Chains A and B, each alone.
Chain A
Amino acid sequence: MRQEEVLSNSLTETNTGIPSGKLAMWLFLASEVMFFTGLIGAAIVLRSGYYEWPKPGELLHIPLAAFNTFILLSSSMTMAMGVAAAHQRDRKRLRFFLAATILLGTAFLGVKGFEYSQKFAHGYFPGTSLFWDCYFTLTGCHGLHVLAGIITNGWILSLTFRSDFDAQKGHYVEISGLYWHFVDLVWIFLFPFLYLI
């Protein structure tokens, strides 16, 4: 890996030597891990006692979901590259990678929306069965988190057009990046749980 020395903003550092915003985001993500663990854990327990849970591919479209996973993993890459561009104070590349991340995230939600519309057209709604309760709850909560990430990245993209962006707000990209990768992490586990097993 190429080594490049960068300096963090001294105004945001804490006594631990870690920027306060970054530490705060890691703490928030730790709480989000507990949030999704509660949901997924409840789904696991409910599934273990529910004999009518469908087989893989029976009710859900695996290739479409796999393609959606590909989209989200790609958005994680573009987000990481955006963070690197922010550290290098390369605003042009930062804007490109932020825009790409936003577009890919929006595409993920678009595919998810299409999946939902197909389920509704076949008469599957939240409340139809325990499986659909779990499916819509888990993917719905995840989708809301993706939407929040898109809005945040959109706001940061708008900030990149300000003259004081690099000096004052460049670290926002790294903090937002941590959140976006977490959203990807959740889907890395949700996808196999709902679609593959």
Chain B
Amino acid sequence: MLHLTNEEKTLNNNRFEGDRIRLSAITDDDLPIVAGWLSNLSLQRLVNPGGVALVTAEQLFDPNGWFAAERNHKNAYLLGVHTKTDQQFIGISAINNIDLYAHHAEIGINLGHPDYQGKGYGRDVMVTTMRFGFEQLNLNRIGLNVFSYNTRAIRLYENLGFVHEAREREMLYRDGNYYDNLHMGILRNEWEERYG
């Protein structure tokens, strides 16, 4: 059993930490940075199932806007990702559609900071968030959906143990072509076998 000092318990160090990153709440200081990331339409097209939209910091701050709704949603956690070494804000990790009856949720990560992409941080964020979902939220299943043209992410999820479960054909429209939406998932027993 892990013995923590009172200080360690208060700071919840172990539950929200990965190798190089830490998960925490998103602060108002972070919002202009998020707006900058979302203004990259390539990034938007990796996570937004519909058409692209121009995003301003004001929209993210708006208490009646879509971002505030996501941040305050009672069945979701919208978490900020910071590097442990120098507290650099590098991305977002979301746990969405938490279903308290079937004990499942969906994960979605978004490493918006260009200097921290393609360097293995995605894996760190995913494993840390998955561990939080299984060990703290008592989930039985973690799922995700990913677009068929996001090959880098699909490879990462396969490497992490997510199983391909469904392919929604021609769910997305981009530049004159349709693309598919893939559902993948990992069950608690599969997680424990792999990471326990």
Are the chains A and B members of one assembly? no
